[in-house]
Amino acid sequence: MQELQPHGAQWFAVVLRTAPAFAQAVRFTIQCERSSRVCSICGEPPVGDFRVIEPVVTPRGVPTIRLCDCCLTASDNMGEMLVPVRGPDSVTRRIARAGQATFGALWKRIYLARR
């Protein structure tokens, strides 16, 4: 399966069907910033593009998202599962750490609740 580049024509075609309000907000941000190389949520410079595995903050049906450092941290803290589409190793390592931390917290919550 080909990854849809966030903020591209095909991406907007998919997102307009699945999350129209989100698509309109992203389009407005792009118009205000005069660039498509912005965070999908806040409009700041992005750290990378991510495939949405388990949406929490991101609306369901959004295949990929472009995030800045702050929005990536917020998504991590809320338990959203994201995988870098491609990007620097530092982003990949950060996602892996966040995934381990989330798994550890989830394991403790499930395991300790049964004891």
Compute mean pLDDT per 10 residues along the chain, 115 residues long, and list them: 83 94 95 94 92 87 92 87 71 54 55 53
**What local confidence, expressed as pLDDT, does residue 1 receive?**
47
Q: Residue 62's pLDDT is what? A: 93
Domain boundaries, given as residue ranges, for the chain: 9-114
Residue 97 CB-density burial (10 A; 0-12 exposed, 13-18 middle, 19+ buried): exposed
**CA 31-36-38 angle, 5° bins:** 95
Specify the pLDDT at position 90.
Answer: 52
Q: What pLDDT score was predicted for residue 16?
A: 95
Structure tokens at 56: 């929490």
